[in-house]
A = this chain, B = another copy of it.
Amino acid sequence: MSSPDEMPAAPERSFASDNAAGAHPAVIEALVAANEGHALAYGDDRWTAEAQARFRDLFGPASEAFLVWNGTGANVMALATMLHPAECVVCTEWAHIAVDEAGAPERVVGAKLLGLPAPEAKLVPEQLASLAHLQGEQHHAQPAVVSITQSTELGTLYSADEVAALCETAHRMGMLVHLDGARIANATAALGGTVQAVRSFTVDAGVDVVSFGGTKAGLLGGEAVVYLDPALAARAKYTRKMVTQLPSKMRFIAAQFNALLHDDLWISLARQSNAMASRLYDATREIPGVAFDVPPVVNSLFVVLPNAAIQPLRDWSFFWDWDVSRHQVRWMTAWDTTDLDVQRFAAGLRHVLGGNFEGPLDGASSGG
C-alpha cells in the first residue's frame, strides 16, 4: 500500500453519516427569516400553523402533526401515545428504538420491546402472526404496537404492499402500527419520489403514526410526529411535554420544516443522497478487495474491506465500522454529497487498496 502522506485529496464531505451534514441553505434562510420580533412560544405562532398545514397537505386533512426536537424523542412520544401499561412493542432486532436509544422507550414509555430476528431489518406478517400465543397470556406484556423503520437501519426498503400487509395483520390482531421515518425522505425518493409515494406506504397502507425525520433530510434539527389516525392524537400535546419534547421557540423548528416541505425539497435532497450512494457503489464495486453484499437502495452502503485497509482509509476520510468481525464498514451519503466527493473517495480507496488505476483519477494517485 501507499503511504498515507501520498493520499489523493480527501472528499470535502465524509461518508460518515447523513447527520454529519449541515442544513440546506434554504432551511437556514427560513430560520433566519423567522427571527423577526416576538412570537408566542410552544407552537402558538404562524410558522407552526403553516407547518401543520403543510403536513396535512402531505398526509391528508385528518392527520395531525406535532413538531419535536429529535428522532428518539419522536419515537418515544409516538409510542407513549399508542401504548397502555403491560403492553409491548414488536420491532426488529435492528430497530433504532431497540438498539440506539439508550433504553429510552423502556424508561420513558415503560414498555418492553420485542426485537424479532430480521436479516434485512424488515418484519413480515408471519412474524406478527406467530405472536398470537402471547395474546391473552397474563404473564406476558401484550403485543400492542408494531414499529417498523422506513428506510430501515440496514438501508433496505419496505414496498407499499409490504407495509400494507403488515398493517393488515397488525390491525386484525388488534395492534397499531408505528413507522419510524428518520429516513422517510430517502424511502420516498427511492419509491417514486412523489407525494403519492410517501402516502402509498404510510396513510394509504394503514400506518397509524409516523415519526417524520427532518434532521437527516437537511434540517439543523427537527422532527415531527404525524398522527394519521387522529384519535391517537388526543393526548399528544401533553405527552409531548411529558417526554421533554415540546420546543419553546417552536417557530424555529417550524420554519425549517416549511422550507424543507416547500416544493418537495425534502424529496429532491433525498434523491440526490440516494443517487450519490448508487454512484459510490458503481465507482467502487469493482475495485479489488471491495465486497458489497447488495447494491444500495437508499443512502447507505455496507462494504467488506481488507482489514489492513480500513484504518488508513478512515484516517484519511472518516466512516464508521459496522460489523468488525467481518471487516464490514458503513458508508453513508447525505443531501449535500457531490459527485466530486464520490470520485475523490473512490480514488482514495483505489489508492489504499493498491489497485491498478485508470481514467481521470489516475493523476491524483499517480504519485502513489
Contact = CB atoms under 8 A, between A and B. Distances in A.
A326 interface: no
Contact of A22 (B103, B247, B249, B324): B249
A102 B23 CA distance: 32
A235 to B, nearest CB: 6
Given A240-B138, A244-B76, A35 B22 contact: yes
A51 to B, nearest CB: 15
Contacts of A238: 85-87, 102, 138, 140-142
A343 interface: no
Interface string A166-200: 00000000000000000000000000000000000
Interface stretch (A106-114, A145-153, A356-364): A106-114
A248 B96 CA distance: 14
Nearest to A34: B22
12 contacts: A20-B39, A22-B35, A69-B245, A80-B86, A86-B107, A102-B138, A104-B242, A107-B111, A108-B244, A138-B238, A141-B242, A220-B249
Contact of A221 (B28, B38, B107, B249): B249
Interface string A91-122: 00000000111111011111111000000000
B108 A108 contact: yes
A37 interface: yes
Residue of A42, A108, A139, A247 most packed against chain B (CB within 10 A): A139
Contacts of A23: 35, 249, 252
B246 A70 contact: yes
A165 interface: no
Interface of A: 12-14, 16-17, 19-23, 28, 31-32, 34-42, 69-73, 76, 80-81, 84-88, 99-104, 106-113, 133, 138-142, 215-216, 220-221, 235, 237-249, 252-253, 318, 324, 334
B37 A12 contact: yes
A250 to B, nearest CB: 9
Contacts of A13: 37-38
Contacts of A142: 235, 238
Contacts of A244: 69-70, 72-73, 76, 101, 104, 108, 243-245
A40 B20 contact: yes
Given A28-B32, A107-B242, A248-B19, A102 B140 contact: yes
Nearest to A251: B22
A221 B111 CA distance: 28
A100 B70 contact: no
A238 B101 CA distance: 9
Contacts of A138: 42, 102, 237-238, 240-241, 246
Given A142-B235, A246-B72, A106 B102 contact: no
A81 B72 contact: no
A321 B186 CA distance: 46
